[in-house]
Amino acid sequence: MCWTYASLGAIESDLLLHNDDLSRESLDLSEKHLAYSNMHKASGSVNGYIDGDYREFVNADNEENAWIFDYDTNYIASGGVADFCISLLTAWKGPVSESGNDSFKSIYGEKFLFKDNSDAPSDIFTSEYHVQNVCEIPAGYANNTMIKQMIMEHGSVTAGVYADDRFWKGHNSTLYADFGGKDIPTANHEALIVGWDDEYSKENFAVTPKDDGAWICKNSWGEMSGIGGYFYLSYYDQTTGRNNVAAYISAVPGQENYYDNNYQAAGFLTYVVSTLEDSENYVTAYSPSTNTYGMLYRAAGDENLKAIGLMGLETYQQYQFDIYVNPAKDGDDINFSLLGEPALSMKGSAISGGYHTFELDKDIQLNKDDEFLILIRPVTAGRLIYEAAVDSVSAPNYDEWKNLTGNVHNCYQASGCSYYVADDGTGVTRQDDKDFFVKAYTVDRK
């Protein structure tokens, strides 16, 4: 559950920093809703494009005494990473406020934790705030200045750590993971960086790093852990340095970028095999290139297209965007020579990796059932991440007490909305085995 606390904490800090009408006392987002959404099927996406994309627990071998599975609270024992949060929150599966069934009744003890929280939260496709950007950069020491700037602008960033007992000191007050030249393992815990101290002594860690300096982090283990729930993380932590930090930017109701509709075709970034060991899970992506790709969506009503969004793995990326309404098609192909003039042509760029929304230079009017094509021509080479169509079941997973949580059933269906450059370069071809993380945002015409 640490991943939900970290990501929602980052959203809360950004909202509080930029919205004077919100207060720390009233803003409390639901970890239960986010974690539940990660492992349950949902319907309600625009045109149902991602209703067929889901993962869930199943008891594939009909194991007996699977009491956590039977309570349907096994999702509580599922670990997660930033990719999970980006998938869910940019799909507008949350965040919602923590109240009623969207709050945990018990958060302690093996029995209470799972038995007392069996009530399902509110509808998965419910979001009080819309996550529109998730800025990611590598967390190595060379990026410290940029990380500090992100904290100043958004209040905090999430970070992955390796929370093994041998690397902690002072009742989880300081953390520095050093593997002595051996392979650096995948992060197994998510924390929230809220500040820094350049002069924090290196002598305060269980193993001495090469120099002073530490991030001040908020943990999810309660106020009895560390220093009132916080700890110092060395600037030189080897696990953190191999991961990304992430800042979240959200729109609130009433703002111009609080859009009505979210057109999307890819539901999840990650294929999940293990719920506790992230090194076994993976994402799929093309090798770095500047190949053209795009999405063809159908307007669900009379709307104005206001913005588009996409996922990028690299920093300092530049794009050319061309948008066409009711483009000519040739079977599974869209030929560039038949497209004519675009309704809009514009450039976009992103300094950080992660998910970014680009506001259009002008609105594009769409009528119900209009098809609109978003062509993306990368200017700088980058990896193109995609959700591969799959329907498979993993080996069984168990929680830290060795109780069965279940086999992970990954079901990701290709929508037929995604297009990739043809082999001869004359157009783009529909992809029937994958979807790209490109979204379109519209507002209803009143």
Question: By C-alpha distance, which of 428, 132, 389, 423 is closest to 295?
Answer: 428
How many whole angstroms separate alpha carbon 347 and alpha carbon 313?
18
CB contact set of 109 (below 8 Å; sequence gap of 6+)? none
**300: nearest Cα among 444, 131, 119:** 444
User: Hey, what are 412's tokens?
Assistant: 């990701």
Q: Which residue has the tokens 């992100």?
A: 150
Note the pLDDT of residue 112: 84
Would you say 265 and 49 are in contact if contact means Cβ atoms under 8 Å apart? yes
**What would the CATH number be for the domain defined by 261-444?**
2.60.120
Hey, what are 80's tokens?
């997660």
Q: What angle do CA 187, 191, 193 make, to 5 degrees?
A: 120
Domain ranges, ordered by start, for the chain: 140-242, 261-444
Q: Residue 317: which residues within 8 A CB-CB, separation 6 or more?
A: 349, 350, 353, 378, 379, 380, 382
- How many other CB atoms are found less than 10 A from the CB of residue 237? 26
Cβ neighbours of residue 210 closer than 8 Å, sequence gap 6 or more = 202, 236
Which pLDDT score, from 0 to 100, does residue 419 have?
Answer: 99
pLDDT tens per residue, range 395-405: 999 988 899 99
- CATH fold, domain 140-242, is Cathepsin B; Chain A (3.90.70)
* Nearest CA-CA partner of 148 in 69, 213, 226: 213
Contacts with 22 (C-beta within 8 Å, 6 or more apart), sequence order: 15, 16, 252
Strand order, beta sheet including 427-430: 333-335, 427-430, 418-421, 293-298, 371-378, 317-325, 344-350
Over the stretch 219-276, which tens digit does the pLDDT of each residue have? 999 999 999 999 999 999 999 999 999 999 999 999 999 999 999 999 999 999 999 9
Tell me the mean pLDDT per 10 residues along the chain, length 446.
Answer: 97 98 96 98 98 98 94 94 97 98 85 90 98 98 98 98 97 97 95 99 98 98 96 98 98 98 98 94 97 99 99 98 97 94 98 98 99 99 98 95 94 98 97 99 96
